[in-house]
A and B are shown apart, each in its own frame.
Chain A
Amino acid sequence: MSKTAKDHAGLAADFNKDPERVSWHDETLWWVRAKRDKAAQGIPEWEALRETASGIKAHTLSNLSAYLEAFEKAAIANGAIVHWAADAAEHNEIVLSLLRKAKADRMMKSKSMLTEECHLNDFLKARGVETIDTDLGERIVQLLDEPPSHIVLPAIHRKKEEIGVLFHKHLDTPEGSADPQLLTHAARLNLRDVFLTRNVALTGVNFAIAETGEFVVCTNEGNADMGAHLADIHIAAMGIEKLIPKREHLGFFLRLLTRSATGQPITTYSSHFKKPRAGQELHIILVDNGRSVQLGREDFRSSLKCIRCGACMNTCPVYRRSGGHSYHTAVAGPIGSILAPNLDMEKYADLPFASTLCGSCTNVCPVKIDIHEQLYKWRQVIVKNGYSGKLKTASMKGMAFVLSKPRVFNFSGKAGRWVLKHAPFIVNNALNPWYKQRDMPEPPAESFHQWYSKNRGKRS
């Protein structure tokens, strides 16, 4: 994504220019959150499941290098070809080299947030390779020439009427039709052609098992399977944090993932890949791209436990009213706001502040990442590294001075209340963001300090 001029607050303000869309976005995602609650309530041992999954991830991250080597060894023994990519650029080059070797200028791709993070589509497009996203939501945003706004529901910011217009333009559906069944069927026919004519399929990876060299891809549409089974070359791209030690650990995560994401008991397709079929090549790309740096940040290490369910987005009061694009990064919402500053602290300095620190994200997280506490900690790191504005620093220093000096505090309070009472126009104007949509509090005649001194002074 190109560097955006507006920060989260500015982009969120833009999103709020259409209040009806905000209502619809909020209610749609709250409905998903409610489905998640219902699914979780159906599992009496839910909290123990979260605790266990969190523990498995903590253990894996603490021994990541050993598990990565074990996975590589097992995958090679299975007949897969394993590649290591230090960053997004290396990952993209590996994919390109595999395409060039196969003399392919077309590729199909199932959902992979990692390739969004690496901006793979743009990279390949600039080099003459056409990528078709086969996940319906991803296909929609691809046709819109937009990034996904949500990691599980990529086109959740768009209404079905808008999809109707889009599909009429690209897939020749009848003009004015917004019937979901008709639109889905048109996408299905179009993608069927893609599946049959592309020879290279890239998939993401939800879980990779160190013990066996297998990996699991979860989709609701079966599109990863359609691609991987029909293509001669299957490329699986995964972040190095996707590992779990053993096959027996998988059950914990599969039970948590979709219940947290959409309220389904399990994804429609949880596809296990182990070895290439006869004549097929299976490539696995292990991508670092900042993950080992994050692993070294003690306060933020556990963010790598994330299994990309999106529950923190659905529950976030800010995300629901600001839209995924306001986060100007591949992974939006609360989890994105603690991952992105690791990649570029300056560019994403606004994101840890795009939160009320309400803590709901931490409570829905299936692997118990303390997201809101990490948002607070990132704020401290960003300020210490000089990525907050000079004006803000000056006002904070002023505030710290007033609040550490009782006399100054009481004088300032008195002055402030005097202004509110006698010259309210000083604060009740367009320059005060509070006043834009809210009235100021009615200033009382005296502070509690004054009341107390008058009424109880002798007793203190």
Chain B
Amino acid sequence: MRVGLFIPCYVDQFYPQVAIATLELLEKLGVEVGFPLKQTCCGQPMANSGYEHLTGGCNALFTELFAEFDYVVSPSGSCTLHVKEHLHVDGSEAAAKSVRSRIYELTEFLTDVLKIEHLRARFPYRVSMHQACHGQRGLHLSQMSELVAAPYSKPERLLKMVDGLQLVPLTRPDECCGFGGTFCVTEEAVSARVGQDRIADHEQSGTEYITSADMSCLMHLEGILRRKNSPVRVRHIAEILNAE
């Protein structure tokens, strides 16, 4: 099985440790991982701003780079969902469709493809889970509080395999953090306020680390935590699942 690793642009630039953890975790689980060096971005920042018609270059590059792999795996629910829903390439639609059907978010890949039952990981801290919306409501990584349906959570199932980790509950288990891509600057007042409210919920839980399957939400939450000098830290789920 050959897996192409897709690292979101902002993770590449600001959070290389998340990408390294993802790579090491997959390799630890016996997966052959390739990282096409020409990769840049999934195109979501333009598309969510109403400029999907400008994403042709990104889409063509993405499809060309990842067509050769059995699976594409990314440590981001949001970017994965964007590719799944919006990757189209004029003249190479079959290849694009094939990539769309083979891309997985990391915890989804570990759960549904690798069918992981055990992990050798240790993270002896209190951890609270931020359910990133695109992973949850778009990729259905976990059950949504709005629906009348049986609960499950792929990321939490994996976290429960980690030695020493204690998951602490929130009062609003799956409210958005307010990041929203370019929304975080175009609607600064609301974005920051939603984030501050989420932080308050995490803090009341007694958490030491906020984790999520999406680093973009955590970047926003981390910015608020650091501004208020909070002792709470953020860790992408890949970093926790890879911790020893």
Query: Shortest distance in angstroms between B32's beta carbon and chain A's nearest beta carbon?
Result: 9
CB distance from B59 to the nearest CB of A (A): 9
Out of B37, B46, B197, name the residue touching A399 (CB < 8 Å): B46
Q: Chain A nearest CB: distance from B194 CB in Å?
A: 5
- CB proximity of B236 to chain A, nearest CB, Å: 12
Contact of B50 with A388 in the complex, beta carbons under 8 Å: yes
Per DSSP, chain A at the interface is helix
- Identify A456's interface contact among B35, B39, B172, B186, CB under 8 A: B35
Q: Which of chain A's residues have a CB closer than 8 A to the CB of B137?
A: 358-360, 362-363
B48 within 8 Å of A by Cβ?
A: yes
Chain A neighbourhood of B192, CB < 8 A: 436-438
Closest-by-CB residue of B relative to A413 is B13
Q: Which residues of A contact B80 (CB under 8 A)?
A: none
Cα separation A355 to B196 with both chains bound (whole Å) = 17
Interface stretch of the complex, out of B90-98, B107-115, B146-154, B203-211: B146-154
Q: How distant is B137 from chain A, measured CB to nearest CB, in Å?
A: 4
Binds A, one of B120-128, B160-168, B216-224: B216-224
A9/B148 contact (C-beta < 8 A), A358-B176, A449-B37, A452-B35 known: no
Whether A413 lies near B12 (C-beta < 8 A) is yes
**Interface residue A425 (Cβ < 8 Å from any Cβ of B):** no
Question: Within the complex, what minimum Cβ distance (angstroms) separates B212 from chain A?
Answer: 14
Closest to B13 in A: A413
For the complex, is A353 an interface residue (Cβ under 8 Å from B)?
yes
Question: Are A438 and B35 in contact, with the CB atoms below 8 A?
Answer: no
A446 CA to B45 CA in the complex, in Å?
23
Contact with A along B164-186 (1 / 0, CB 8 A): 00000000100110111101111
A436 and B188 within 8 A (CB)? yes
Contact between chains at B185 and A434 (CB < 8 Å): yes
Chain B 16-48 residues near chain A, CB threshold 8 A:
16-17, 19-20, 23, 34-41, 43, 45-48
A339-368 Cβ-contact flags toward B at 8 Å (1 or 0) = 000000000000011111111101110000
The reply to whether A44 and B148 form a contact with Cβ atoms under 8 Å apart is yes
Instruction: Determine the distance from Cα of A158 to Cα of B179 in the docked complex, in whole angstroms.
Output: 28
CA distance A360 to B194 in the complex (A): 14
Q: Does B53 contact A (CB under 8 A)?
A: yes
Are the C-beta atoms of A400 and B133 separated by less than 8 Å?
no
* Closest Cβ neighbor of A382 among chain B residues: B50
In contact, B186 and A13 (Cβ under 8 angstroms): no
Most-contacted residue by chain B among A15, A16, A353 (CB, 10 A): A353
**Minimal Cβ-Cβ distance residue in A for B229:** A439
Please give me the residue from chain B that is nearest to A316 by CB atom.
B176
B55 lies within 8 A of chain A by Cβ:
yes
Taking a contact as CB atoms closer than 8 A, the residue among A9, A352, A356 that contacts B179 in the complex is A356
**Given known contacts A321-B194, A380-B52, A396-B54, A460 and B36 CB-to-CB distance under 8 angstroms:** yes
* Closest A residue, CB atoms, query B54: A400
Q: Are A439 and B53 in contact (CB under 8 A)?
A: no
* Contact A12 B189, CB 8 Å, known A357-B133, A358-B137, A379-B49: yes
Contact of A399 with B14 at beta-carbon distance under 8 Å, contacts A318-B194, A357-B180, A406-B61 already known: no
Query: Is the CB of A453 closer than 8 A to any CB of chain B?
Result: yes
Query: Which of A35-43, A67-75, A130-138, A298-306 lies at the interface with chain B?
Result: A35-43
A252 beta carbon closer than 8 Å to chain B: no
Q: Does A322 contact B (CB under 8 A)?
A: yes
Query: In the complex, what residues of A have CB within 8 A of residue B195's CB?
Result: 438
Which B residues lie within 8 Å of A317 (CB)?
A: 175-176, 178, 194
A169 adjacent to chain B (CB < 8 Å): no
Query: Does A157 lie at the interface of the complex (its beta carbon under 8 Å from any beta carbon of B)?
Result: no
CB pair A47–B51 under 8 Å, yes or no, is no
Given A403-B40, A446-B16, A452-B37, the answer on whether A359 and B133 have CB atoms closer than 8 Å is yes
Q: CB < 8 Å: which of B40, B49, B138, B172 contacts A392?
A: B49
Rounded to whole Å, the gap between the CB of B97 and the closest CB of chain A is 19
Q: Of B12, B38, B190, which one neighbours A321 at CB under 8 angstroms? A: B190
Counting CB contacts under 8 A, is A241 at the interface?
no
Q: Is A451's beta carbon under 8 Å from chain B?
A: yes
- A363-B147, A444-B15 given as contacts; is B196 within 8 A of A437 (CB)? yes
Residues from chain B with Cβ under 8 Å of A220 in the complex: none
CB distance from A200 to the nearest CB of B (A): 41
Decide if B187 is an interface residue (CB 8 Å cutoff).
yes
Whether B7 sits at the interface, judged by CB under 8 Å, is yes
Q: A315–B133 Cα gap in the complex (Å)?
A: 13
Contact A406 B38 (CB under 8 A): yes
Whether the Cβ atoms of A363 and B144 lie closer than 8 Å is yes
A451, B180: Cβ atoms closer than 8 Å: no
Contact of B13 among A355, A405, A447 (CB under 8 A): A447
Contact of B187 among A318, A352, A401 (CB under 8 A): A318
A84 interface residue per 8 A CB criterion? no
Across the interface, do A403 and B43 meet the contact criterion of CB distance under 8 Å? Answer: yes
The distance from the CB of A333 to the nearest CB of chain B, in whole angstroms, is: 13
* Inter-subunit contact B223/A441 (CB<8 Å): yes
Q: Binary interface profile of A, 361-394, with partner B (CB < 8 Å = 1, else 0)?
A: 0111000000000001001101110001000110
Q: Given A46-B148, A392-B49, A447-B12, does the pair A460, B40 have CB atoms closer than 8 Å?
A: no
29 A-B residue pairs with Cβ-Cβ distance under 8 Å, sorted by A, are A9-B188, A12-B187, A37-B146, A40-B148, A355-B180, A357-B48, A358-B133, A358-B176, A359-B133, A363-B147, A379-B49, A380-B51, A393-B51, A396-B49, A397-B54, A404-B56, A409-B41, A416-B13, A417-B13, A434-B188, A434-B223, A437-B188, A440-B223, A441-B219, A441-B223, A448-B16, A451-B20, A452-B23, A456-B35
Please report A residues at the B interface, Cβ cutoff 8 Å. 8-9, 12-13, 15-16, 19, 22, 26, 30, 37, 40-41, 43-44, 46-47, 315, 317-318, 321-322, 352-360, 362-364, 376, 379-380, 382-384, 388, 392-393, 396-397, 399-406, 409, 413, 416-417, 432-434, 436-441, 443-444, 446-453, 456, 459-460
Closest 10 CB pairs of A and B: A404-B57, A438-B223, A356-B180, A383-B50, A379-B50, A363-B146, A359-B137, A358-B176, A448-B19, A437-B192
With contacts A37-B145, A358-B180, A448-B12 known, what are 11 further pairs, Cβ within 8 A?
A9-B190, A321-B193, A353-B50, A355-B180, A356-B133, A360-B176, A380-B51, A400-B51, A401-B57, A413-B9, A433-B186
